[in-house]
Structure 1
């Protein structure tokens, strides 16, 4: 195994679920430039299909609450919690009415517009991965 393929296997995988192409690109680019591997999906249904195929690879799902289709972000988080309980979920929304009071404990809500540093910090915590930090940060 080469050094780069070994590094790729240790990089956490983040599934970004966002129907707005610009926002999905921004989130994916931010995460990739920080050392994460990223898989992108436009809808919750597509995210579930990816998880069915590659759920053992995915560490964190970063999803908009409002996605097109029959399944939204809150329902996606509930399905992931039951089916893939080790996968952490971060939900985001720009709608003030989307303050989730019934999320499972491992799901975190980030209001839009989100700040890059906030997303990186939460994704790193959820993935158990530290891109910068010192030895005191290790678990």
Structure 2
């Protein structure tokens, strides 16, 4: 295991935005166990507050499309694209009505239920890390 101080300086920070505690815990645990630093938020509004304070640290935002409050995932992705253009956005949804064609910004869409390997691969790619994991569909093209 790597010393906490060493990992904290080199590993990308991932902001996980999910209102369902179990899903947020699962995503955060998966990413932390793989060596990422994780910040959690229950709403898009809270995520924006975190980005205002720590946007220079965050590499990737992994957010559900449907979050409580006035701002949803698609709008969050749009705001991030304008305000923090270097931050990569991964959006996920289990609602059949939420489709990748709804993205009007540069973000990657991941349908639920997602697999751990898919999330790890996409987060590593979005964070600029070279992944030796298998590519995931069209999302890894580029």
Q: Deviations over 1:97-121 (max 9, x none)?
A: 1003242563100000000000000
Deviations 1:49-81 (A, max 9, x none): 000000000000000000000000000000000
The answer on whether the counterparts of 2:81 and 2:105 sit within 8 Å (CA) in structure 1 is: no
Runs of at least 4 residues off by over 3 Å = 1-4
CA distance in structure 1 between the partners assigned to 2:121 and 2:138 by the alignment: 14
Taking only aligned residues, the RMSD between alpha carbons, in angstroms, comes to 4.0
What is the TM-score of this pair, normalised by structure 2? Answer: 0.86
1:8 deviates by 1.1
Q: Secondary structure at the match of 2:102?
A: coil
* CA distances 1:79-137 after superposition (whole Å, capped 9, x unpaired): 0000000000000000011003242563100000000000000000000124xx999x9
| Displacement after TM superposition at 1:10 (Å) | 1.0
Is the CA contact 1:64–1:91 (under 8 Å) kept in the aligned structure 2?
yes
Matches within 5 A, 1:120-131: 120-130=120-130
State TM-score, norm by structure 1. Answer: 0.88
Q: What count of residue pairs does the alignment treat as equivalent?
A: 136
Offset, 1:4: 4.2
